[in-house]
């Protein structure tokens, strides 16, 4: 039935003649025939879709609830008979709330969060093919869309993206006699030493605390020529390259006191960003939202590609958040139509610009790249096509990510052996991948 639905859908809303046809079928007593072929997916007028979404704002003034309220208002105006009820939760709560709803047997129709693979593997989600029109589905950036697959089937729809680049404080660099961003690890270490000698409190901020240690870790692993997995997707956290990376971090930055007064295992990304915006940090890895934070505090900053261990550019880290649709309540037609509206260029660009994120569609990315108002995002857009993403298609990633957040900071503590910590994480990943 899914293929027939995709062929006949016009994506112009529920009120396009389908309602009358269903009413006629019902009057003829033929709805029972459709029951085995997804009748609940074309339930007609009076449908209310429930959406749970994450909050990208940092205050009530720019809460994501306001964004979704505007999108829903515009959609409901053009699509009589379909209502969308949106609940927005903080990133600290959204994954837990979705999990609780699913466990209680009352999943939302749509959920926008950081992962999807567990629900896909459990057979709870619609395939993307059964929801989106062909132009909308084809419009996703390929490398993002590919990460939305479990066993080569797409279940996750990329919703928001970002990349990481090296931020540096131009004033502090000038005071330390540094005239350009580092291009290699050796240059980064030398610049950090010069910043330290110039009295900078935190020459390089290394946030390996529990908030987002998996991100800082991945960026460093990539710049060292490896990553969390190998070329065929098998975890290799304890590879020779990764051990080399964390041994270098410990010996050349942490042990020499070049990562600031807070131990990396206790430093969270948000605190590192705040310190950079106060002018206390010489360098750190950052995503686009740091631009606004720094500018608001009058910090003149520069950006550059993350230095590679050998002076060459290596893959940078990209992050994608996901939209998924649960099958339990049906309403596949209405869900698909609403998502086609959500992924219009206008809505994608509005969201990206409001929260300093990158568009997930090719056409919106091209428009942003050509717009002078978005010039500050150019370095991040340039990194996106070649960015490496978390292995979110692996159902084990949630457990592995949690373990990295909890343990990786120990790898650079005084007296620690980075290789031992990475071996322990590899054991955790191997077990998780078997379950």
Mean pLDDT of the chain, nearest integer: 88
User: 331 vs 46, which has greater pLDDT?
Assistant: 331
pLDDT at 28: 34
Q: Are residues 52 and 116 in the same domain?
A: yes
CA distance 195 to 50: 51
Which residues, other chains included, contact 134 with Cβ-Cβ below 8 Å and sequence gap of 6+?
Answer: 6
- Average pLDDT on 339-360 reads 95
- Average pLDDT on 101-116 reads 95
pLDDT at 236: 97
pLDDT in tens, 299-324: 999 999 999 999 887 888 999 999 99
58 neighbors 118 (Cβ within 8 angstroms): no
Phi, psi at residue 175, to the nearest 5°? -65, -30
Q: What is the DSSP string of 15-36?
A: TTTHHHHHHHHHHTT-HHHHHT
pLDDT at 42: 41
The alpha carbon of 145 is separated from its chain's Cα centroid by a whole number of angstroms, namely: 12
Q: Which residue has the tokens 């946030």?
A: 207
Q: Is the pLDDT of residue 41 over 50?
A: no
pLDDT at 115: 87
Q: Are residues 287 and 403 in the same domain?
A: yes
Q: Which of 111, 191, 96, 37 is nearest to 402 (CA)?
A: 96
pLDDT in tens, 168-217: 999 999 999 999 999 999 999 999 999 999 999 999 999 999 888 999 99
Report the b/e string of 131-168 with b at 16+ CB within 10 A. bbbeebbebbbebbbebbbbeeebbbbbbbbbbbbbbb
Q: Are residues 112 and 171 in the same domain?
A: no
159 neighbors 322 (Cβ within 8 angstroms): yes
Q: Which of 58, 62, 82, 57 is nearest to 72 (CA)?
A: 82
pLDDT at 201: 96
Q: Are residues 272 and 354 in the same domain?
A: no
Phi, psi at residue 83, to the nearest 5°? -110, 150
pLDDT at 183: 95
Q: Are residues 296 and 411 in the same domain?
A: yes
Q: Are residues 251 and 298 in the same domain?
A: yes
Q: Are residues 31 and 154 in the same domain?
A: yes
Q: What is the DSSP string of 378-389?
A: HHHHHHGGG-EE
Q: Are residues 308 and 188 in the same domain?
A: yes
Q: Are residues 295 and 374 in the same domain?
A: no
Q: What is the DSSP string of 70-121?
A: HHHHHHHHHSTTEEEEEEEE-TTTHHHHHHHHHHTT---SEEEES--HHHHH
Domain residues for the domain of 301 are 165-315+396-434
CA distance 318 to 219: 9
Task: Using the 3D structure, point to which of 373, 389, 405 is the last residue of a domain.
Answer: 389
Q: Are residues 336 and 372 in the same domain?
A: yes
CA distance 135 to 67: 24
Q: Is the pLDDT of residue 426 over 80?
A: yes
CA distance 227 to 211: 20
CA distance 376 to 357: 11
pLDDT in tens, 247-257: 999 999 999 99
Assign 407 a pLDDT band (cuts: 50, 70, 90).
very high
* Number of domains observed in the structure of the chain: 2
Q: pTM of the prediction?
A: 0.80
pLDDT at 179: 95
The percent helix, strand, coil of the chain (3-state, each to 5) is: 50, 15, 35
Q: Are residues 14 and 107 in the same domain?
A: yes
CA distance 341 to 133: 11
Q: Are residues 21 and 158 in the same domain?
A: yes
Q: Is the pLDDT of residue 260 over 60?
A: yes
The CATH number assigned to the domain holding 146 equals 3.40.190.10
pLDDT at 384: 87
């Amino acid at each position: 039935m899914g293929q027939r639905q995709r062929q006949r859908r016009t994506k112009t809303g529920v009120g396009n003649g389908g309602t009358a046809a269903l009413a006629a079928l019902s009057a003829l007593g033929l709805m029972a025939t459709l029951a085995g072929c997804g009748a609940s997916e074309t339930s007609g007028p009076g449908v209310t879709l429930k959406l749970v979404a994450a909050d990208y704002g940092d205050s009530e003034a720019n809460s994501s609830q306001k964004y979704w309220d505007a999108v829903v208002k515009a959609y409901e105006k053009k699509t009589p008979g379909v209502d969308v009820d949106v609940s927005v939760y903080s990133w600290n709560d959204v994954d837990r709330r979705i999990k609780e709803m699913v466990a209680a047997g009352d999943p939302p129709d749509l959920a926008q969060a950081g992962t999807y693979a567990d629900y896909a593997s459990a057979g709870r989600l619609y395939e993307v093919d059964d929801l989106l029109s062909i132009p909308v589905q084809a419009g996703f950036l390929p490398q993002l869309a590919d990460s939305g697959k479990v066993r080569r089937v797409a279940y996750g729809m990329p919703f928001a993206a970002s990349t990481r680049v090296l931020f540096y404080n131009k004033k502090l660099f000038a005071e330390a006699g540094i005239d350009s961003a580092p291009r290699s690890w050796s240059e980064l270490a030398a610049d950090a030493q010069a910043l330290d000698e110039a009295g900078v409190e935190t020459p390089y901020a290394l946030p390996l605390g529990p908030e987002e240690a998996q991100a800082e870790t991945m960026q460093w692993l990539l710049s060292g020529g490896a990553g969390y997995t190998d070329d065929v997707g098998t975890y290799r956290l304890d590879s020779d390259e990764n051990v080399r990376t964390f041994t270098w971090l410990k010996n050349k930055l942490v042990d020499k006191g070049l990562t600031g007064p807070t131990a990396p295992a206790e430093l969270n990304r948000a605190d590192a960003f705040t310190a950079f915006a106060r002018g206390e940090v010489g360098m750190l890895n950052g995503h686009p939202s740091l631009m606004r934070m720094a500018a608001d505090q009058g910090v003149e900053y520069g950006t550059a590609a993350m230095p590679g261990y050998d002076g060459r550019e290596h893959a940078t880290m990209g992050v994608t958040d996901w939209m998924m649709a649960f099958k339990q309540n049906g309403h596949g037609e209405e869900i698909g139509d609403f998502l086609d509206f959500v992924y219009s260029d206008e809505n994608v660009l509005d969201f990206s610009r409001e929260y300093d994120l990158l568009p997930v569609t090719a056409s919106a990315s091209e428009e942003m790249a050509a717009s002078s108002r978005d010039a500050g995002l150019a370095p991040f857009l340039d990194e996106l096509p070649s960015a490496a993403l978390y292995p979110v298609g692996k159902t084990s990633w949630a457990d592995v990510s949690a373990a990295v957040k909890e343990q990786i900071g120990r790898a650079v503590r005084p007296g620690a052996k980075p290789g031992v910590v990475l071996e322990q994480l590899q054991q955790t990943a191997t077990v998780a991948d078997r379950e």
